[in-house]
Amino acid sequence: MAGTTHTVTNQAPPLVQYDVFGADRALVEAVERHLAADVLDEGLTELSGLGRTVGSAQVQEWGAQANENPPRLRTHDRYGHRIDEVDFHPSWHRLLGKGVSAGLTGAWGRPGGHVRRAAAFLMWTQAEAGNGCPLSMTHAAVPALRTEPALAAEWEPRLASTVYDRALRPPGQKPGALFGMGMTEKQGGSDVRANTTAARPLAEDGAYELTGHKWFCSAPMSDAFLVLARAPGGLTCFLAPRVLADGTRNVFLIQRLKDKLGNRSNASAEVEFAGTWARRVGEEGSGVRTIIGMVAATRLDCVLGSAGLMRQAVAQAVHHCTHREAFGGKLVDKPLMRNVLADLALESEAATTLALRLAAAYDDGGDRERALLRIAVPAAKYWVTKRCAPLAVEAAECLGGNGYVEESGMPRLVRESPLNSVWEGAGNVQALDVLRALRREPEALDAYLREVGRARGADHRLDAAVKDLLTELADLEGVEGRARRLVERLALVLQGSLLVRYAPPEVSDAFCAGRLGGDAGASFGTLPHTLDLASVVERARPVS
């Protein structure tokens, strides 16, 4: 037709209908490396099925809908009765149901369970990160509950269930249950020892009445919550069910939902306890020690979640540049864009490789692996979550103006990217936690050095970085002021050692040059041009 101007050309097709697992070579190789032979085939089949689900147009649409329709708080019903319920868009429930059925709350005690769940969680984050919160809290509650065998026997089968039951009713009547958590208060934040919520013992053995507030309560629609409160014997961990055994609602007053930068589909709340019934978990006064197992598990999920966001951002950037033409050729073939994409791909692969190595340590469960986790989890949580935001922003820039438009999905990744750095202790909390381990648990540093030592002699830049790190570790005088620098180096050296051992030479060479050898600038896309960057980008391509 004469005058027609709207002929659409030179646009990348949507990145849908693909196997998110099979297209992620770093993730597939990590699973193959860490899963035992007797469960490997089953695990790969399971993860590939989930990968196709995550990459489907339907699930991607559910993720967009859940993000665009955030939860709403209903404090009262039409008659004026206090109900404190949170309404979610149907897509939220569909996603959460898929996540539960995929086993994202049931890793404990399953052969290769943590590696399989870690890979699944990393993928599921790419569909919509918001519903990862209840999945993570439920999974992570198990270590705390196991301090009370009777409670664990009662609750653990419900938490590991693959059945999602959204109804608020007595836990004993449900085939599956979800857990939330409430630790921080407005006057203390990360300093949970400043908590003021009071716990008064009741006549029933192990039962208490809670009075107080929580400034951040994760997943307030859950069936039960692990919370910290002050009992006569000190700060203690408690289990507060949403609905009591007789069917009545426990006192759980939701004051408001947080209006957050990202993570819009998920509800985070301020709640009040006013005579709330709860059961003690662990001994009085041992609250932090009891709940720390839950905190450690959720910190690993922060690493996995950030690794998932990174992977999706890189996949979208590489996919776009593979199809988009400018200045006489494909963007992916332009040397400067190739440098940017390769640099982003390195960050993503290093995060994935480290996260799956930590999951494998959970599966192993031996003393040395537990000692490694003591340093490696907070160090990884510190570094990987901090690298997520700049990576997401740079990946969005690869799409040009298209990346700034909501329909591209990139703004949602950008808004989500800072979250995991804040959850479960911000950067300074992680750095101080590493310092405590270095000072009090020499076996943790020994396990870390043994791990990185497995790559000794494979790359001179890694060897030099280890030597410099040992110099820093030899002088812990006044270390708090340089704790971030130290923890950053711990994480980078660990990532480098893993990539040198397991990644293709072009990946490990580029990582060691840019991250350990100092041969790169401060921004992405400043790697030495002499490296094999085309192979690094090709490895990150989501669809051939």
- What is the overall mean pLDDT for the chain? 96
For range 455-464, the mean pLDDT: 98
Closest CA to 292 of 427, 143, 423: 143
DSSP state, residue 80 = S
How far is Cα of residue 269 from the mean position of the Cα atoms in its chain? Answer: 19
What residues contact 204, with CB distance under 8 A and at least 6 apart?
Answer: none
Q: Which amino acid is residue 407, in one-letter code? A: E
What residues contact 544, with CB distance under 8 A and at least 6 apart?
Answer: none
Q: Which residue in the block uniquely carries the two structure tokens 């990217």?
A: 417
Report helix, strand or coil for 270: strand
Delimit the domains of the chain by residue range: 25-285, 289-540
Q: Picking from 101-105, 224-228, 261-265, 289-293, which range would have the lowest pLDDT averaged per residue?
A: 289-293
Q: Picking from 21-30, 110-119, 185-194, 281-290, which range would have the lowest pLDDT averaged per residue?
A: 185-194
Predicted confidence (pLDDT) per residue in 225-241, tens digit: 999 999 999 999 999 99
> What span, in angstroms and rounded, lies between the C-alpha atoms of 28 and 26?
6
Residue 218's pLDDT is what? 87
Residues comprising the chain, all counted: 544
Is the whole model's pTM more than 0.95, yes or no?
A: yes
pLDDT at position 30 over 90:
yes
Closest CA to 511 of 488, 492, 538, 530: 492
Same fold, 25-285 and 289-540: no
pLDDT at position 3 over 70:
no
Q: State which CATH number among 3.40.190.10, 2.40.110.20, 3.40.640.10, 3.90.850.10 fits the domain covering 25-285.
A: 2.40.110.20
pLDDT at position 196 over 70:
yes
Identify the CATH number of the domain defined by range 289-540: 1.20.140.10
Q: Dmax of the chain from CA atoms?
A: 86
Closest CA to 126 of 298, 312, 257, 261: 312
